[in-house]
Amino acid sequence: MRTKNAGIALAATAMLTALAVTPAGAATTALPGPSITGVLAVQKQAMTYGAPGALTRIDSGASSYRIASGKADTGAGVPMDANRRFRVGSVSKSFTTVVLMQLVAEGRVDLDAPANDYLPRALPDDRITVRHLLSHRSGLWDYTNEMFYHTVPGFEAVRNKVFSFQELIDLSTAHQPTSVPGAAYNYSNTNFVVLGELIEHLTGVPMATHYEQRIFQPLGLKNTSYVHPRTTISGSYARGYVRDDDPTLLLVDSTEQTVSWAQSAGAVISNPADLNRFFAAVVSGELVPQPQLREMMSVVPVNADGTQSYGLGLRGRVLSCGVKVYGHTGTVQGYYTYAFTTADGKRSMTSMANTSNNGTVNTVLAGTLEAAFCGVDPVKSGKALRSGGEAATEDIAPGVLRH
């Protein structure tokens, strides 16, 4: 195997490294080659705006590119590397969707049946279907809007709590719905908490077992786990740091938590190699039969210019070079994640910055998609996204504008 050092740069406070691994004679894909300098530029920009560190892994055919910047642990001064585990946040929704769609393929769930057909306690509106939950069109209010309205105090109040699915659902249904079922896309963590309740009630099997038996073991995802409600991450991992709503205060180490406030909506732990393997397997039909896969990948635009879309537990993005990628974003306290793959699964990319409640870092990190799939340096070319100033929403408390 031929190993090529793709670039090493030293900054005043961080070391930036990039490693590309390509077997001799390996074929390349038809896409432009990834821009390693572009990934490094985005990671450096993310660190400028407050991320302690960042990592990216690109798997393209038989080639693998691993790029890391900054620190995985600021207290111990441990450098970031692209093999580390972390909390993937809402990327977990795609794992939950795979479990649900396998149940659909087995004839145990009907996407267009009322969700109440499968739940131990009925939702307030019997018109909400399973499909509405998967596509964020149920109208169920997101309980995290209230739970994390004040970011750090909200987090500290729940970081060691253990919730039942029903307790979280009740927090949502205490509020009026955001829309009539099916009328509009409104991202809500409540949808995937309901799906977790649905899956466990229908099958009598815990989500952890479903993930392990249906996804982790078949794909050999040795760095992926669902340990709820345990609070620790095993092996080599990156610590997470959440920013206070007052940005003049120090970052808060948010690594240890139950993530019980999210569960099937956001409590999976993984690393870049496993996430790339997972999404490539999803779009390639290794996990979900073709009829159900077509449903997942039938994405509908959710922003004004049509560059961002959502299917069933799967995001779609159209990049500047016209390439369409599928995957999911993730936000959990201390971690931002982008994990996407091409429609054929031949090129996959995962990027993570170990901070959160910093919308600028979140949006800047999306530039690694341009570098990975379009082969451009988005910072130099001007294709980088918003670099600060305006408010934005996130996967946590999506009804609350953040800076």
Strands (DSSP E) found in 41-172: 53-60, 63-73, 78-79, 86-87
For residue 379, give the 3-state DSSP assignment: helix
- Where in the sequence numbering do the catalytic residues fall? 90
What pLDDT score does 11 carry?
A: 36
Whole-angstrom distance, CA of residue 233 vs CA of residue 240: 11
pLDDT by residue, tens only, the chain of 403 residues:
333 333 333 333 333 445 555 444 334 347 999 999 999 999 999 999 999 999 999 999 999 999 999 999 999 999 999 999 999 999 999 999 999 999 999 999 999 999 999 999 999 999 999 999 999 999 999 999 999 999 999 999 999 999 999 999 999 999 999 999 999 999 999 999 999 999 999 999 999 999 999 999 999 999 999 999 999 999 999 999 999 999 999 999 999 999 999 999 999 999 999 999 999 999 999 999 999 999 999 999 999 999 999 999 999 999 999 999 999 999 999 999 999 999 999 999 999 999 999 999 999 999 999 999 999 999 988 765 544 445 678 899 999 988 7
CB 343 within 8 Å of CB 327? no
Residue 215: per-residue pLDDT:
99
**How far is it, in rounded angstroms, from Cα 252 to Cα 259?**
16
Q: Counting beta carbons within 10 angstroms of the beta carbon of residue 203, is it exposed (0 to 12), middle (13 to 18) or buried (19 or more)?
A: middle
Q: How far apart are CA 315 and CA 323, in angstroms?
A: 14
Distances (CA, A) of 24 to 1, 10, 240, 388: 6, 29, 37, 42
Which helix (H) or strand (E) is 269 found in, with range? strand 269-270
144-167 burial, b for 16+ CB within 10 Å, e for fewer? Answer: bbbbbeebbebbeebbeeebebee
User: What is the pLDDT, as a whole number, of residue 381?
Assistant: 82
- pLDDT of 139 reads 98
DSSP letters spanning 135-158: TT-S----THHHHTSSHHHHHHHH
DSSP per residue over 290-327, as a string?
Answer: HHHHHHHH--EE-STTSSEEE-SS-EEEE-TTS-EEEE
